[in-house]
Structures are given as structure tokens and as C-alpha cells.
Amino acid sequence: MVRSKRRTIEHWNLISLILMAYDIIAVGLAYFLGLWLRYDCNFSQISPDYLRTFIWFIPFYGLMCVAVFWRLRLYNSLWRFASTTEFKRAVWGTLITSIIHIIGASVTMYLLTGRIGRMPISYYMVGMGLQFLAVLGIRFSYRFVLLERAKRKKANAKLIRVMLVGAGDAGEMILREIQRMKEETMQVCCIIDDNPNKWGRYIENVPIVGGRNEIIASAEKYQIDKIFVAVPSASADDKREILNICKETGCELKNLPGIYQMMFGYATLGDLKDVAVEDLLGREPIRVNMDQISRHIRGRVVMVTGGGGSIGSELCRQVAAYDPKQLIIFDVYENNAYEIQQELKEKYPALEMKVLIGSVRDSRRMNEVFDTYRPQIVYHAAAHKHVPLMEDSACEAIKNNVIGTYKTAFAAMTHGCERFVLISTDKAVNPTNIMGASKRLCEMVIQSFDRAMKEGKADKLPMLYTHNTKDGEGFTPQLSVSQFKTDFVAVRFGNVLGSNGSVIPLFKKQIAKGGPVTVTHPDIIRYFMTIPEAVSLVMQAGTYAKGGEIFVLDMGAPVKIDELARNLIKLSGLKPDEDIPIVYTGLRPGEKLYEEKLMAEEGMQKTENDLIHIGNPLYFDTDAFLEQLEKLMHAAHNNTTNIIPMVEAMVPTYHPDYTGIKDATYEKLRAETVGAK
């Protein structure tokens, strides 16, 4: 048996019925008052014909009004949001029903008296006016009550006092939106603008009190809680200075990125973002030749190793935007690979994408991938990058970074890859840690491949395998040496904000816990760039490659880590050394006070992009290097204890920290490997 559903009466249905009853009574009373006023408010003086006509016609008229009002949706509108649309409907309803009333009253009078006539003109005019006021008044009074209730609530609540920086178009839009938010407890108390012509004037009754030098004083004078910075067209230096002044007030900061004004020409409160530490670095927006990159990527098979990491995943995002024939994401960690896969599936449903799990250490896996998918461009981002961890696991740095790069590069060369781009680091310059030294070895690997190809000796490059080659390895390149065409290049840059292992996520966690924030040294400095900026420059550098170059990205001015930590604390609305203590822990093993972008002897060449430079390659004996590399591979595979002296012998600029190493056997091994210094 099918159980029938009981239909419930909604709240708005009940309100509509009440409004219908009210309208019937209200329109009748409106026209009665019109008739009564016509006779000087004396009921006994009203003409019997007029009174009989009114009594007989008004019930019919009340029902007609309800029908017209229903058709005009005056019973199912949300009157708390009533606007000019509802007002216009009420006007039309009054006009239509008034015409009906004029005709209907005349017909009724004729039927009752047998003569053609009409009601008094004043009766129609007054009745129509009172009807309009009665019908509209009851509806808009609901909104009025709600607004008054909101005002009382706002008066009793704590008012959020706002300072607006920027009296331009973007600032005015945000100001007007705040003032339209009647139910919000937010008020703009003052405006800051650097244009002296605007000082002492008003926007929407809000005073423009002065330039950026007045920010701190005005914040105190007006007891400001929040500062909204709406200067999207300002230069990076100006915006950085303004934000640095604002952060000293201790107020909550919101910033309007310049992209909103440039792209859309309008600004809203929703466009305001929390001020991030990168906003305080003051870099001008990095520009790349998008057409050049697009021609380089479009229609090609592109592979990103380490594609799930912070740099690798951003490479995948930007490659996907340039319409490649196929994107191959290769990573050893499936969780990261899965996340970027799902993100790109949603954003680029038509993208031909393949996500593969594997290690760059595994030569058989690399050859299988290259043989199956034939990537034409490879961005090699797979690497161990954490400096202190690699100091304790030096052999792993060699296995993954150096030998992994060699095997990937060898597979790329022997399968006809057109371009191989190594992601390197400024820590490869005069390294003091094994991570930086391993990345310098990676650079030497790709330079060795480039030199061997240019000299026609690519077939002399050894195939490095740590597994038993007797078990059916037998890999033979399908291409002849003359068909090898890969351009091998490296791109070197510094730290990227927000990457895995970056200090900023660590500082944020420490601040959230109430401190302390740990800084290794008060004078330590680093070069910083955002991940999207670094990746866009990597892709631009890849278009310039001719083979063998080490491209160096201009990271801008160096940043003191101590200052970075203090800025993060201030952006959290707290005071360094008071609310959140800062503790200096000392330099970690292999860590330098500063990083260098180039070795002094490398020199510098310009490219089309002012932020991308080319270091002149240092000469080294390729044959001797490759011979040492094979020994280094086997030593790392066997987890030997003298791996650091072996690397020191191969990288002349490597200066490891031997502090605390007193093991006599180790010293002997080092003496045998690199000799006494």
C-alpha cells in the first residue's frame, strides 16, 4: 500500500493568507475613507446611491485585488529584502485595481439605480492613494522593523573599526560595500592616501587623514582594529613599505592583490586577502614570455620527475596550462602524486595525463617509462633537499640526487628526449653540506652528458647499474649516437616560500603553539622566491637552452631569516620577544650564514629575461669525473663511511664541516681520498 504524503503548510503560506485578509479589509477601508472624507467626515450626509454602490461592490473589488496582487507576486516575495522591484509591482497593482474599481463601481451603480453615473472623483483619488499606502506600508514595515532591530544589535555589539589605505577606485569600492553591509558591525573610520590633494577631504563622510606617515598615529587615534590595504596599482617597493608600516600597528591586515584591478577593474571585500610574508619582500611581479613557453610546451610529451613535490607539482600545474600532448607525472611517493593528479583532473578535464610511481634510482623502471611514453621534455625535480637530514644520510643523497639524475638523464638521451632541465639550487655554489655538493655533482653530470654529445662520444658514457647485470639487464639504446639530440641544462635558484622543508611553515606552527620561534643565527640570510615565480622562470629558462648551460635565477635581495620570523609574528597580531620569544639555536651541520648564486669564477651572461642569467661552465676532466662517479655510486650503494671525502675529491669547491669527527679510521680514509689539506 502506498502511503500518501501529508502536505504541510509552510510559514510563508500562512503569512500570505494573512496578507490576503488584510488587503481585502485595507482596500475596503481605504475607499470608505475616501467616501467619508468626500462628505466632510459626516456619515449621515453620504448619498444613499453612493453608499449602496459601495456596499455592494466592495466585496467583489476586494477579491479582484487579491487576484491581481497574486498575479504580481505580492504574496510570495521575501519582504525582508524588498527593493524597487517590489515597489514597482505595488504601483502597477494599484493602477490596475483602480481602473477595475472605476469601471466596476459605475456598472454596479447602473445595476442598482438604473441610471448611468459614477462615484465622486475625490472618492477615487483618495481611495487609490490610501490603498497604495496601506498595501505597500504593511509590506515595507517588515523590512523597516528588521533594519531597526539590526541597528540596535549593531549599537550593542563591539564595533570593528577599520582603516582604509588607498583612496582610489579600489578603495572607494570597498568602502561603499562596507557601508552597504547594514547588518555588519564594521565601520571605516579613516582613510590613508599618499596624494596630498586628497588630504582633509571626505569619501562617503569618511575623512582622508594623510599619507603613509600617518598610519601609526591614526591607528592609535581612531582605535583601529583592522587595516585594509587597497593600493593594487602601487609599485612593489611602495606596497612593501606600506605593509611594513601597517604591521607595526598590531592591527589585523588585509591586502588587495593587484591582479584584481588589472584583470577585472573592480574590487570587493572578498578580494581582500590576509597579508602573507611574501607581500613584505617587495618583489616586482615576475614576467615571462608566455607565447615562447607555450610554443615550447604545446603539443609535446612532457615528463616531471618528483611531480608530487612542492616544485614538481607547480611545474605540473603550469605545464598543464600550456596544452601539452601528454603530461607524465613521475614520483616515488604516491600520496603527493595522487593529490596533484586529482587537482589537474578537475581543472583540466581534457588533459592527457599519466601518473606513474617509481624511483629515479631504478634504471630499469626509467628505461621502461621512457621507452613507453617517449617524453620530449623532462623537468627533473626529484631530489632529497633537506640539508640536516642529508648530513646524517649522505649515501642516500648520492643515490637519489646524483645517481638518480644520471640514470634519468641517460634514459632521456637514449630515447630521443629533446630537452632535459635539471632543477638545481644555490646550495651547489661552494657547498658546505652534502646536499649542496650532491646537487653540484648533478650539474656536473648534465654538463658531462652535454660535452659527450657535442664531442660525439655519447656511446662512451657508462651505463650505471647497481643491480646484477647478469640477470637479463642487456639494455641497448634503440638510437644511434648520431641520433642523440638532448639539450641538457640546469636551473639554479634559492629557497622558495612555502615549499616542503621551508622555514615559513615551521615558524607558523611554532607561533600557533605560542612559541618559541627557533632561528639558527641572528645574521643568517637567504634568497627567497615564490614557487609559481620560480617555476615560471624555470620554464622560461628551458626555452633558452642550447645545451650545457647552468641558468641562474635572480632571486632579488637576500632576506634575513630573523627578520622573516619577526614579521610573521607581527602579522599574527603578536609582538616578538614579548608575546612570542625568539630563540637562536646555532647553525646546523653543513649550514652556511649565506647562500651564493654563482661561483666567483663562473662569471655571468645575460639572456632575454633580466631575471635569468647563464653561468660560464667550469672546466673539469669529464673522463676522470665519470670514472670517479662509478666508484662513488658503488660506494653509496654499499653505504661506505668515506662517502664525504670521495665527494670532496670530486667537487673542488666542496668544504665539508668535519667538526666533531674524531674517528681515526675516518681520518685515514679522508687522507687517502683527498689528501691532507
Give the tens place of pLDDT for each residue, 117-149.
788 888 888 888 888 888 877 777 766 776 666
Cα 301 to Cα 486: distance, rounded to the nearest angstrom: 14
Give the tens place of pLDDT for each residue, 162-219.
899 988 888 888 888 787 765 467 888 999 999 899 888 888 888 999 999 999 999 9
**CB pairs under 8 A, 24+ apart, for 218-223?**
218/163, 218/190, 218/192, 219/163, 219/249, 219/251, 220/249, 222/161, 222/163, 222/189, 222/190, 223/161, 223/189
Q: Where are the beta strands (DSSP E) in 19-159?
A: none
Among residues 294, 239, 282, the alpha carbon closest in space to that of 536 is found at: 294
DSSP at 479? S
Q: How crowded is residue 376: how many other Cβ atoms within 10 Å of its Cβ?
A: 21
Strand partners, 605: 614
Q: Which amino acid is at 340?
A: I
- pLDDT band at residue 472 using 50, 70 and 90 as cut-offs: very low
Q: How crowded is residue 433: how many other Cβ atoms within 10 Å of its Cβ?
A: 25
Q: What is the mean pLDDT of the chain?
A: 81
pLDDT given at position 349: 92
Give the range among 9-13, 110-114, 472-476 with minimum mean pLDDT. 472-476
pLDDT given at position 625: 92
Bridge pairing between strands 528-530 and 495-497: parallel
Cα 643 to Cα 248: distance, rounded to the nearest angstrom: 49
pLDDT given at position 2: 45
Cα 228 to Cα 61: distance, rounded to the nearest angstrom: 57
Among residues 631, 643, 642, the alpha carbon closest in space to that of 668 is found at: 642
User: Contact 374/301 with Cβ under 8 angstroms?
Assistant: yes
Domain 160-275 carries which CATH code? Answer: 3.40.50.720
Cα 276 to Cα 402: distance, rounded to the nearest angstrom: 35
Cα 504 to Cα 517: distance, rounded to the nearest angstrom: 11
Cα 618 to Cα 616: distance, rounded to the nearest angstrom: 7
Among residues 75, 82, 64, 63, the alpha carbon closest in space to that of 12 is found at: 75
pLDDT given at position 662: 45
DSSP string, 426-452: GGGSS-SSHHHHHHHHHHHHHHHHHHH
List Cβ neighbours of 577 (8 Å cut-off, separation of 6 or more).
none
User: Contact 447/380 with Cβ under 8 angstroms?
Assistant: no
Structural domain spans, the chain: 11-154, 160-275, 290-467+477-496+528-555+597-650
Give the tens place of pLDDT for each residue, 345-357.
999 999 999 999 9
Task: Please compute the mean of the pLDDT values over residues 601-619 and round it to a whole number.
Answer: 77
Query: Which of the pair, 262 or 181, is modelled with greater confidence?
Result: 181
Angle (nearest 5°) at CA 542 between 537 and 547: 140
Question: Buried (b) or exposed (e) across 127-164, using 16+ Cβ within 10 A?
Answer: bbebbbebbbeebeeebeeeeeeeeeebeeeeebbbbb
pLDDT given at position 676: 43
DSSP string, 373-440: H--SEEEE------HHHHHH-HHHHIIIIIIHHHHHHHHHHHTT-SEEEEEEEGGGSS-SSHHHHHHH
pLDDT given at position 30: 85
Task: Please give the grid coordinates belonging to residue 593.
Answer: 650564514
Query: Which of the pair, 657 or 248, is modelled with greater confidence?
Result: 248
User: Contact 569/508 with Cβ under 8 angstroms?
Assistant: no
pLDDT-above-70 percentage for the chain: 81
Task: Please give the grid coordinates belonging to residue 57.
Answer: 461592490
Q: Pick the most confident of 71-75, 237-241, 349-353.
A: 349-353
Give the tens place of pLDDT for each residue, 26-46.
888 888 888 888 887 888 788
User: Left (φ > 0), alpha (ψ -120 to 50) or beta: where does 323 sit?
Assistant: left
Task: Please give the grid coordinates belonging to residue 570.
Answer: 607581527
Query: Which of the pair, 665 or 415, is modelled with greater confidence?
Result: 415
Give the tens place of pLDDT for each residue, 270-308.
566 666 666 666 566 677 788 888 899 999 999 999 999
Task: Please compute the mean of the pLDDT values over residues 366-390 and round it to a whole number.
Answer: 93
Q: Which fold has domain 290-467+477-496+528-555+597-650?
A: Rossmann fold (3.40.50)
pLDDT given at position 278: 64
User: Contact 529/423 with Cβ under 8 angstroms?
Assistant: no
pLDDT given at position 369: 95
Cα 544 to Cα 487: distance, rounded to the nearest angstrom: 10
List Cβ neighbours of 244 (8 Å cut-off, separation of 6 or more).
280, 567
Among residues 560, 492, 497, the alpha carbon closest in space to that of 528 is found at: 497
Cα 504 to Cα 501: distance, rounded to the nearest angstrom: 9
Cα 47 to Cα 31: distance, rounded to the nearest angstrom: 15
Q: Which amino acid is at 667?
A: E
Give the range among 2-16, 57-71, 187-201, 234-248 with minimum mean pLDDT. 2-16
Q: For the packed helices 48-71 and 84-113, what is the interaxial angle rounded to 10 degrees?
A: 140
pLDDT given at position 424: 92
Give the tens place of pLDDT for each residue, 538-590.
898 888 888 888 888 877 777 788 888 888 888 777 788 888 899 998 877 76
The cell 563622510 sits on which residue? 205
- pLDDT band at residue 471 using 50, 70 and 90 as cut-offs: very low
Q: Which amino acid is at 7?
A: R
Q: Which amino acid is at 643?
A: I
Question: Buried (b) or exposed (e) across 509-523, using 16+ Cβ within 10 A?
Answer: ebbeeebebebbbee
Q: Do domains 160-275 and 290-467+477-496+528-555+597-650 have the same CATH topology?
A: yes
Cα 596 to Cα 655: distance, rounded to the nearest angstrom: 14
Rg (CA), the chain: 39
- pLDDT band at residue 606 using 50, 70 and 90 as cut-offs: confident
